[in-house]
Structures are given as structure tokens and as C-alpha cells.
């Protein structure tokens, strides 16, 4: 069964929150118990609600998965088939926190729902292309960011280079052991679990099985077809009404946009955007490291971003930078008023 896709449980999958069957990849098997990983990023949830030093044992993501999501995702019978899995949470020895000590991974935990550690992900997916994961429509509605191919970043169960950061996987499948701020809300979650297949039969996934099917109608006979038809009619008119309001809103935005240059000094148009970009290292200026980034998606070409020495990466990283070479850069831009006025914060770099 290892490597196959199976169906178990339901969760909002589309942007309109329709509950859909969940597709899981079978990663491992021990007797009748199998380890499953959700095929897609099924939700966008911060590792922790607040920006602070945190371990997997204490983070809000762990609590949410095992107290809220588990009840929404599985029936009582399905929950009874889930197996408590004890997990070790090692320190981050690759990138030491300030002071030279490894970031603390915390105590061992025992959960029915969890996320994989970097070591577990590498064990089951040995190349970046196998680690890439698309996001569901519901996760996109929740604010998850995807690349041009629809793949998203998702959390792993480990601390980053600082204990207020957690390790994650980029949309192109690269494990970023430097981590990113735990309160980031645009990273996805791929849930992992052990289930006893003798208690709850797992159905091998096929195209027909994955069709959208709401929890409310699943397994129930249509006792009153006329009533169901009336409900569908009301739903249709509601949709038409929403579309009409959306058209009006777009017209208002277009009209207001003509006056935006007059309004912006008072109103202030500020937004933060999170990026993963390849950048060319062009040299060092005093204590700053300069990179050229192609930002054509924001109508900015050959944009220059600078990092302060030791602020965005461990000191040993500086020695690995080669002029003219490309590196994967992670950074956040805060745009104010005009898009050209960008300031940079919370930047990190991956040097292989």
C-alpha cells in the first residue's frame, strides 16, 4: 500500500468551503497501521498565533490540529481508528541561535494529528520535486501564497535558526532550515497521522472518488426532492446577488482609483508581501550585501535589496557568497503609497 493514495475524512476543499474527501499519500506501514500525509496543503494556519520563542509541544498549531481540526475532519468512528504517535522533536543543529546554542526543539510529544519533521520528510521524499505540494482552494481563500504552478510553502515540525522561527518547505520543495517567523499566516499545513486500517477501511483513491461531495448530503437519502430543489434555487439567486454586488464594488474601486493619488497621503496605502526569489549577488558595500532581484511581477525590474552583515543569516554564510552567483532569497516588502517606496524586513537567505 505504500506510495498509494487513499481517501479518509472530509475538510473544506474549495473556496466556497464545500467539504470534500481528503486524499492522503501512504508513507509507511507497520502491520495494520499506516502513516498518511495529506496530498495537498489543506489549510493556511500559523505555527503559533503570537510571535515568540516556541516549541512544537507548546505551539497553537499543534493544539488546533488535535482539538479542532480533528473533530471537523473525521467522524467519531474515524477518530477511533487514529493512533497516538509519539514524536521526538530534536534541536536545530544546522543553524545555531545567537549565543551559539542550537535552537531548542522541545520535549517529545504524542499526538493523533501532527506535521512531519525535516528528517521525516527527507526520509519519504528524497528530492525537492517530490516534496512540492499544491494548495486547496480553501487554503488559498485563507491566504496561502502559491507560485506560478500553484504550489505552496508549508510548515515542518522543527525550530529555525531562531526559536521564534519554524522550519518550512518552499513552493519548489526546498527545506529551509533557517525557518521563518512562527506567526506567519500564509504558509500551508500538510497533516500527517497514523491510522489502523483494520478499524477504519481505507479506500484507494481514484478520479471518481475524489469528486466534490458535501458532508451534509453524504450517505443521506433525499427525503423531500421538492425541498432540495427549492434550496438549490435559493442558492442560485444568492450567488447572482453576490456577483451583482461584486460588479458594483469593482466599479466603485475603479472610480476611487482615479482619486487615489489625492487620497493616499491621508489614507496611506500600506501592504506587506512575502516573496521567494532567485537573486544575483552583486557585491558588498561596507557591512551590507547587495543582491539584484527581478521583480517584474510588481513592474519593478532589476531591484536591489541589501542585507546587513549577520542580521539575516549566520556569520559563516557570508564566506560562501560568490559575486555573480544566484541564491534563493526570502524577504518581505512593505509597500507604502507608491510601489517604488519599499522597505525590507525579516529577510533570510539560503546558501547551499
Instruction: Kindly report, residue by residue over 165-188, the tens digit of the pLDDT.
Output: 999 999 999 999 999 999 999 999
Beta-strand relationship, 175-181 and 109-111: unpaired
Minimum mean pLDDT range among 36-45, 138-147, 223-232: 223-232
Tell me the three state secondary structure of residue 140: helix
What are 314-336's pLDDT values in tens digits?
A: 555 666 778 878 777 766 665 44
Written as nine digits, the cell of 219 is 450517505
The pLDDT of 187-215, averaged and rounded, is 77
Percentage of residues in the chain having pLDDT higher than 90: 49
What are 103-133's pLDDT values in tens digits?
A: 889 999 999 999 999 999 999 999 999 999 9
Give pLDDT, residue 207: 53
Name the nearest CA neighbour of 274 among 164, 165, 181, 206.
181
Give yes or no for residue 277 having a pLDDT over 50.
yes
Give pLDDT, residue 218: 38
DSSP 168-205: EE-TTS-EEEEEEETT-SS-EE--EEEEETTTSPPEEP
Give yes or no for residue 32 having a pLDDT over 60.
yes
Give yes or no for residue 43 having a pLDDT over 90.
yes
Distance in angstroms (rounded) separating the CA atoms of residues 308 and 288: 5
Confidence of residue 252 (pLDDT cuts 50, 70, 90): confident
Give pLDDT, residue 295: 59
Name the nearest CA neighbour of 202 among 21, 13, 72.
21
Written as nine digits, the cell of 15 is 473556496
Calculate the average pLDDT of the chain: 78
User: Of 313 and 40, which is predicted with more confidence?
Assistant: 40
| CB 205, CB 8: distance < 8 Å | no
Distance in angstroms (rounded) separating the CA atoms of residues 64 and 43: 12
| pTM exceeding 0.75 | no
Alpha helices in the chain (DSSP H): 60-64, 70-73, 76-81, 118-124, 128-131, 137-141, 225-258, 260-267, 315-318
Written as nine digits, the cell of 223 is 427525503
Confidence of residue 211 (pLDDT cuts 50, 70, 90): very low
Give pLDDT, residue 181: 96
Give yes or no for residue 352 having a pLDDT over 60.
no
Distance in angstroms (rounded) separating the CA atoms of residues 184 and 328: 19
Name the nearest CA neighbour of 40 among 20, 15, 22, 16.
22
Distance in angstroms (rounded) separating the CA atoms of residues 132 and 153: 8
Question: Residue 82 forms beta bridges with which residues?
Answer: 195
Q: Report the topology of domain 270-350.
A: OB fold (Dihydrolipoamide Acetyltransferase, E2P) (2.40.50)
Give pLDDT, residue 256: 57
Confidence of residue 97 (pLDDT cuts 50, 70, 90): low
Give pLDDT, residue 182: 97
The pLDDT of 283-312, averaged and rounded, is 61
The torsion angle over the Cα atoms of residues 308, 164, 173 and 39, rounded to 10 degrees, is -160
What are 141-154's pLDDT values in tens digits?
A: 999 989 999 999 99
Helix-strand-coil percent breakdown of the chain, rounded to 5? Answer: 25, 40, 40
| CB 76, CB 69: distance < 8 Å | no
Amino acid at each position: 500500500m505504500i506510495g498509494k493514495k487513499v481517501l479518509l475524512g472530509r475538510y473544506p476543499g474549495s473556496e466556497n468551503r464545500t467539504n470534500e474527501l481528503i486524499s492522503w499519500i501512504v508513507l509507511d506501514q507497520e502491520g495494520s497501521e499506516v502513516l498518511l500525509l495529506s496530498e495537498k496543503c489543506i489549510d493556511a494556519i500559523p505555527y503559533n498565533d503570537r510571535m515568540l520563542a516556541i516549541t512544537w509541544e507548546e505551539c497553537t498549531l499543534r493544539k488546533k490540529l488535535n482539538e479542532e481540526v480533528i473533530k471537523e475532519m473525521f467522524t467519531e468512528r474515524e477518530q477511533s481508528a487514529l493512533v497516538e504517535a509519539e514524536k521526538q522533536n530534536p534541536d536545530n543543529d544546522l543553524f545555531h541561535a545567537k549565543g551559539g546554542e542550537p535552537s531548542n526543539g522541545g520535549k517529545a510529544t504524542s499526538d493523533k494529528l501532527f506535521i512531519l519533521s525535516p528528517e521525516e520528510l527527507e526520509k519519504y521524499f528524497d528530492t525537492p520535486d517530490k516534496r512540492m505540494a499544491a494548495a486547496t482552494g480553501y487554503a488559498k481563500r485563507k491566504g496561502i501564497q502559491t507560485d506560478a504552478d500553484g504550489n505552496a510553502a508549508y510548515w515542518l515540525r522543527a525550530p529555525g535558526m531562531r526559536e521564534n522561527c519554524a522550519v518550512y518547505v518552499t513552493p519548489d520543495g526546498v527545506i529551509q532550515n533557517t525557518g521563518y517567523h512562527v506567526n506567519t499566516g500564509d504558509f500551508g499545513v500538510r497533516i500527517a497521522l497514523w491510522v489502523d486500517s483494520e478499524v477504519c477501511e481505507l479506500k484507494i483513491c481514484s478520479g471518481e472518488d475524489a469528486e466534490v461531495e458535501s458532508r451534509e448530503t453524504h450517505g443521506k437519502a433525499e427525503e423531500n426532492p421538492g425541498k432540495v430543489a427549492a434550496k438549490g434555487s435559493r442558492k442560485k439567486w444568492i450567488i447572482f446577488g453576490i456577483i451583482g454586488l461584486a460588479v458594483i464594488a469593482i466599479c466603485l474601486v475603479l472610480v476611487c482609483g482615479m482619486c487615489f493619488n489625492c487620497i493616499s497621503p491621508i489614507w496611506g496605502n500600506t501592504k506587506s508581501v512575502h516573496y521567494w526569489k532567485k537573486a544575483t549577488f552583486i557585491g558588498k558595500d561596507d557591512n551590507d550585501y547587495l543582491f539584484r532581484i527581478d521583480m517584474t511581477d510588481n513592474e519593478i525590474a532589476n531591484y536591489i535589496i541589501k542585507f546587513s552583515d549577520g542580521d539575516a543569516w549566520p556569520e559563516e554564510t557570508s564566506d560562501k557568497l560568490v559575486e555573480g552567483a544566484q541564491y534563493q532569497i526570502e524577504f518581505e516588502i512593505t509597500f507604502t503609497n507608491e510601489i517604488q517606496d519599499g522597505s525590507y524586513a525579516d529577510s533570510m537567505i539560503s546558501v547551499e
